[in-house]
Amino acid sequence: MKTNKRKAQALKKANLDLFERTWPTQEYDFMADSLVSPKESEPVILPSEEDLVDMFDRINVEMFGGRLPQVKILYSDRMLIAGSYLPTQREIRIGRKYHTIFPADLEDTLRHEMIHIVYPNHSREFKNLARHWGVSLKAREHPKLRSACRYIYYCPVCGKEYPRRKRLRMASCGDCTPGKDFDPRFKLKLLKSKKKS
């Protein structure tokens, strides 16, 4: 656990040194397009991964003065979320299923993940920068983007239930745990699990 904290701190320090903390004051309205998802009958054609790299380069200049390092950008057919940034692989993954439903959110997602290159967590600094540029903090929900929960965990102290798709190893109740670190006094216990059919 200590090595993970050290890695996170080193990564945060390295990312913060990429550029100064003064941000350009110009605003960019990237959400001007309609956010209405296309009709079911219309096929959605998303930009190619090469187009995503071009979009990354343009946003890098607009938001970060071109100072972000180049990362790999690719689509994921497995993800049910909008996107994710994997710092160890220097890779941004864009959820194809999410953006087939919400194609107008693609640039917003890319901007969100690019901020993660500088601020790996949703820290105060991350939120401030996202708000400054009008970037969404959370993705939208849709019934097609939910998968069945296979596990239900509960807190032995307060009884709160936590449905999860993946098995948890070391997790404690978010309501009972002081701070954000794991607390063994409030370790979640497995209530029930559904087997794959």
pTM of the model: 0.59
Residues 6+ away with beta carbon under 8 Å from 66: 60
Q: Does any domain span residue 54? A: yes
Tokens of 88: 């160890």
- Is it the case that residue 18 has pLDDT exceeding 50? no
Asked if residue 95 and residue 137 are part of one domain, the reply reads yes
Q: Do 64 and 120 fall within a single domain?
A: yes
| Statement to judge: residues 51 and 128 lie in one domain | yes
Angle formed at CA 162 by CA 99 and CA 159, multiple of 5 degrees: 160
Look at the chain and report how many structural domains it folds into: 2
Residues 76 and 164 in one domain: no
Residue 1 predicted with pLDDT over 50: no
CATH of the domain at 125: 3.30.2010.10
Rg (CA), the chain: 19
pLDDT score, position 195: 60
pLDDT tens, 150-171? Answer: 888 999 999 998 888 788 888 9
The 10s digit of each residue's pLDDT in 76-125 is 998 888 999 999 999 999 999 999 999 999 999 999 999 999 999 999 99
Domain ranges, residue 133 = 45-144
Q: What is the pLDDT of residues 133-151, one digit of tens each?
A: 999 998 888 877 776 678 8
Same domain assignment for residues 131 and 162: no
What pLDDT score does 14 carry?
47
* Same-domain check for residues 165 and 94: no
Phi, psi for 151 (deg, rounded to 5):
-130, 145
| 135 & 166 share domain | no
Mean pLDDT (whole number) for 13-38: 41
Same domain? For 140 and 175 the reply is no
Task: Give me the phi and psi of 45, to 5 degrees please.
Answer: -110, 110
Do residues 128 and 66 share a domain? yes
**Model pLDDT, residue 108:** 95
Residue-level pLDDT at 131: 95
Same domain, 182 and 96: no
* 178 falls within a domain: yes
pLDDT digits (tens, 9 = 90+) for 39-68: 555 788 899 999 999 999 999 999 999 999
Q: What is the mean pLDDT of the chain?
A: 81
pLDDT at 127 over 70: yes
CB count in 10 Å sphere of residue 185: 11
Q: Could you say which of 106, 126, 144 is where a domain stops?
A: 144
Q: Which of the pair, 26 or 155, is modelled with greater confidence?
A: 155
